[in-house]
Amino acid sequence: MRSRIWAVFAGLLVTLSLPPFGWWPLAFVGVALLIATAPVTAAQNFRRSLLFGLAWLGPGLFWMTQFSTPGWILVVVLESVIVAGCIAICIAATRDRSASSTSKPAERRSPHGWPVAIGLLVGEIVRSRLPFVGLPLAGLDLGQARGPFAGLVAIGGRALLVSLLVAGGTALAVSGRIRVVLSALVAGSLLIARIGPVGTQRTGNTIRVALVQGGGPQGLLASPEQAVKTYAAQLRETDSIGSVVDLIVWPEDAVDLVRMADRANEVDGTLVGIARAHHATIVVGVVDAQGSRRFRNYVLVYGPDGEHIDRYDKVMRVPFGEFFPFRPLLRALGARLPRRDAVAGAGPGIVHTSAGPMAVAISYEGFFADRVRGGVSAGGEVVVIPTNASSYRSTQVPTQQVAAAQLRARESGRWVVQVGPTGYSAVIDPLGRVRWRSRLGAAAFYVATVERRRGLTPGQHLDTDLLLLNAVSLWTLLRLIRRRRRRVDAPESTPRTRRYGTVTSASV
């Protein structure tokens, strides 16, 4: 029972390291507690790791309750099982070694230190890819976005950042020299914080970008009235742009043609007029009906002459937000579901504009490193993230979106421009520094000068998440095969002895 209480406490500490709290050192303490209090068997570790996952992911994904409480319960349980299962498998693969009586004293206090750490690392990567399309929100990497180790993503992607977090927590748990470990972490943070956009180069070109945030209250769900108000607010703020700009960015869902279908031609004509009046490219977030049960979420690009020059359809959809798996089950549980699901797009996230090629990640896609990697690899020189967090009453999702944008900036070595209808809108440089951020719910426009950059960082040349998963999977499989062969090849057991006082007898 004591071990399970410590596991819950460790999970809560990890939650406190995430935005909006952002107390990043607590993630190291949480991992250390999980490992230092690990019991002996794989089954015991599965149960306590499940509690750890529930305490971490339950609050971390609480925003899902605004769409579907049954969906939130289902996702939290599934992802906690994934984390606990990965830990139990890694312990099972190393059980014979970990339980050895010749272990050092520190290892006897934590008999499964490194297996638990490896299982946690793999579980975090797997749950960000499964189930459904993955759910990387509340990820361990997001809690480190503002910490001194975030620069590692430019070298080895999020896998390297999470690996350092888990390794640091493990060292605190199994090492008797905590001061030495803390000193090493501090020294490492001073070096890693200096890592810049390795492997990328300046093109010598800059562009002036206008971010347009219409503003409005948080926590409002989509409706025809709200769609009209959002569009009108965007128009008002766009009229405030007085300087010369190359690019105007509107948020995701700024034009809702599902609920404004009768005004489609009028809206299109207005946007054409804005592009011509400013002689600038406009990137606009649009949702459009696709029959009675489907809709599309995309960005439409208007050139300075008002022509439609490109379009990108969102690929990664929010589970239990933009599409609802297990609809019959959720209805049976009493959930009220929207009628339409989003249609997934295809291809890399890039649009070609007169201001240069832009990598695009629409809202939720900003949490996925491979979506930005695809756009940058295709030639994107600036990353544009139109988003919409206006449905959420709390700051949980908006702050995690900014943290994800900071990581994508460092991974790609690019400037990131994020725009939401009610915030947070932000401008982030290639070092992950937030140069400007709007106030949540306020109307705002901001003109920023950003660099166009080309090239790839080492962290984007390879999918390090997948490489790590393959390596650990192979290691675990080989360990399990080796243990099975040991059992098969083991000689018959010798007679056991029992000691009664000073007399020893052999059992037959």
- Residue 71 maps to a domain: yes
What is the domain-level CATH number for residue 373? Answer: 3.60.110.10
Among residues 94, 98, 99, the alpha carbon closest in space to that of 478 is found at 94
The predicted structure's pLDDT at residue 196: 80
Residue that is last in its domain, among 167, 195, 223: 195
The alpha-carbon radius of gyration of the chain (Å, integer) is: 26
In a domain, 405, yes or no: yes
Asked if omega into 424 is within 30° of 0 (cis), the reply is yes
Q: What is the pLDDT of residue 179?
A: 78
Same domain, yes or no: 271 and 172: no
In a shared domain, residues 17 and 63 = yes
Same domain, 176 and 246: no
> Following CA atoms 190, 193, 194, 200 in sequence, which dihedral angle do they give, to the nearest 10 degrees?
160
CA 352 to chain centre: 26
Neighbours of 280 (CB within 10 A): 24
CA distance 75 to 498: 52
In this structure, the answer to whether residues 34 and 172 fall within a common structural domain is yes
* Phi, psi for 458 (deg, rounded to 5): -55, -35
The reply to whether 41 and 90 lie within a common domain is: yes
The verdict on 161 and 281 lying in the same domain is no
Domain assignment present for 204:
no
Same domain, 186 and 273: no
Reading the block at residue 371, the tokens are 């979506």
Token pair listed for 418: 């994020």
> Is 38 among the domain residues?
yes
* Residue 266 CB neighbours (<10 A): 10
Listed in sequence order, the DSSP H helices in 248-340 are: 264-278, 327-332
Does 354 map to a domain? Answer: yes
**Beta strand segments in 223-280, E:** 247-249, 255-256
Tokens at 495, concatenated: 């007679």
Claim to verify: residue 181 and residue 254 sit in the same structural domain: no
The residue from 195, 224, 258 where one domain ends is 195
CA distances from 254 to 257, 287, 322, 417, 500 (A): 10, 8, 16, 16, 83
Structural domain includes residue 357:
yes
Q: How far apart are CA 303 and CA 276, in angstroms?
A: 8
Tell me: do 256 and 138 sit in the same domain: no
The residues, any chain, with a CB within 8 Å of residue 498's CB and separated by 6 or more, are 504, 505, 507
Same domain, 232 and 376: yes
Residue-wise pLDDT tens digits, 188-214: 887 887 788 888 999 989 999 999 999
Looking at the structure, tell me whether residues 253 and 188 fall in a common domain. Answer: no
Q: How far is CA 226 from the centre of its chain?
A: 29
What's residue 42's pLDDT? 79
User: Which of 163, 195, 227 finishes a domain?
Assistant: 195
Q: CA–CA distance from 256 to each of 83, 306, 309, 417, 423 (Å)?
A: 38, 20, 20, 22, 18
For residue 372, tell me if it sits in a domain.
Answer: yes
Residues in the chain: 508
Domain total for the chain? 2
Beta carbons within 10 angstroms of residue 58's beta carbon: 19
Strands (E) across 389-440 are located at: 416-419, 426-428, 434-437
Only one residue has tokens 């990820």, namely: 139
Which residues are CB-contacts of 499 (< 8 A; sequence separation ≥ 6)?
none
- Does the residue 467 lie in any domain? no
Answer yes or no: are the C-beta atoms of 258 and 306 closer than 8 Å: no
Q: Are residues 154 and 237 in the same domain?
A: no
Residue 415's domain comprises: 209-451
One-letter-per-residue 3-state SS of 157-196: HHHHHHHHHHHHHHHHHHCCCHHHHHHHHHHHHHHHCCCC
Q: What is the pLDDT along the chain (508 residues), one digit of tens a residue?
A: 788 899 999 999 999 999 999 999 999 999 999 998 887 777 888 999 999 999 999 999 998 888 788 889 989 999 999 999 999 888 887 765 444 444 444 444 455 678 888 899 999 999 988 777 778 899 999 999 999 999 999 999 899 999 999 999 998 888 777 778 878 888 888 788 778 888 899 998 999 999 999 998 888 777 888 889 999 999 999 998 888 999 999 999 999 999 898 899 999 999 999 999 999 999 999 999 988 889 999 999 999 999 999 999 999 998 888 888 878 877 777 777 888 899 999 999 999 999 999 999 999 999 999 999 999 999 999 999 999 988 888 899 999 999 999 999 999 999 999 999 998 999 999 999 999 999 999 999 999 999 999 999 998 888 778 788 778 877 777 777 776 676 666 555 545 444 444 444 444 3
Q: What is the spatial distance between Cα 243 and Cα 162, in angstroms, rounded to a whole number?
A: 43
What is the distance between the alpha carbons of residues 333 and 329, in angstroms, rounded to a whole number? 6
Distance CA 425, CA 313 (A): 21
